[in-house]
Amino acid sequence: MSIPLKHFKKGSLKPHLPEDGVLRFYSMRFCPYSERAALVLAAKKIPHHKIYIDLSEKPDWYTDYSPLGKVPAIQLSAVADQPALVESLVIAEYLDEEYPEPSLYPAHALQKAQDKILIERLSPAVSAIYPVFFTADPPADALQNFETALDVFEQELKKRDTPYFGGRAVGMVDYMIWPWFERFPALKLLLTDKYELDNQRFGKLLQWRELMLQDEAVKQVALDSQVHAKFMQTRLEGKPNYDVAFEAL
């Protein structure tokens, strides 16, 4: 059964989904937190139905699955009472435990805890760069603060001395921070000075970004920088067009 390739809005009817026990994934195509869950689903090859939600005009029925109206959410249709889970990190960890191949978090408890802390340390970079993406007059020190926050990840890659944060293969940290690194190159299209991360300062991170672009899950899920920039422009104009993600399909 095909679900319409669109974002469901307020007033739209709830899509009719088969009772087939297949996980249901509620998302917004440009939401980096939703992309976290999408990457884990792709990496583990977990069958699922995709339902996209318009976050500006959420359909009334969506709170049945996400009480606060947030994305992502997954509905476990094969479980009794079909419970739903929300919050990207909660969903990612649940999927990693429930579908253990390939394992994305390290088995060692201390390393897993340290990886979770590292994921949280992306927050200052996200807070610094969002006004640049989505406001007409971002703080003057936004890019400086953004780069300072990214220094943590450059140094961590040097410390680990591995191509990925997960080691020799992509791991949970890589997938959990990737959605923002996918979006950063859109700055070249949005800003007049064609901003890009400095290769001297962020050499390891830029190498990592190129490697991540070759990952099969990333290939399945990622959007092109031009598509991200186009969406950011519609949001900056106060008329976010979530369906612009599907225009090239």
Q: Decide if 84 contacts 76 (C-beta within 8 A).
A: yes
Predicted pLDDT at 249: 65
Q: Where are the alpha helices (DSSP H) in 24-164?
A: 32-43, 88-98, 109-120, 123-134, 142-160
Predicted pLDDT at 148: 98
Which CATH number describes the domain made up of 7-98? 3.40.30.10
pLDDT surpasses 60 at 57: yes
Q: Can you give the pTM of this predicted structure?
A: 0.96
Residue ranges, comma separated, of all CATH 1.20.1050.10 domains in the chain are: 109-246
Predicted pLDDT at 192: 80
Of 205, 195, 196, 246, nearest to 223 (Cα)? Answer: 246
Tokens (6 digits) for 194: 């064609």
pLDDT bin (cut points 50, 70, 90) of residue 191 is: confident
90 is catalytic: no
Q: How far is 192 from 224, CA to CA, in rounded Å?
A: 19
Among 7, 23, 29, 31, which one carries the catalytic annotation?
Answer: 31
The predicted-structure confidence for 171-187, as pLDDT tens digits, reads as follows 999 999 999 999 999 99
Cβ-in-10-Å burial (0-12, 13-18, 19+) of 170 comes to: buried
Residue 203: partners with Cβ closer than 8 Å, 6 or more residues away: 154
Residue 237: partners with Cβ closer than 8 Å, 6 or more residues away: none
pLDDT surpasses 90 at 3: no
Average of per-residue pLDDT across 17-31:
95
CA 63 to chain centre: 21
Residue ranges, comma separated, of all CATH 3.40.30.10 domains in the chain are: 7-98
The predicted-structure confidence for 127-177, as pLDDT tens digits, reads as follows 999 999 999 899 999 999 999 999 999 999 999 999 999 999 999 999 999
Amino acid letter for position 53: I
pLDDT averaged over the chain? 95
Predicted pLDDT at 122: 97
CA 28, 212, 187, 124 dihedral sign is positive
> What is the third-level CATH fold of 109-246?
Glutathione S-transferase Yfyf (Class Pi); Chain A, domain 2 (1.20.1050)
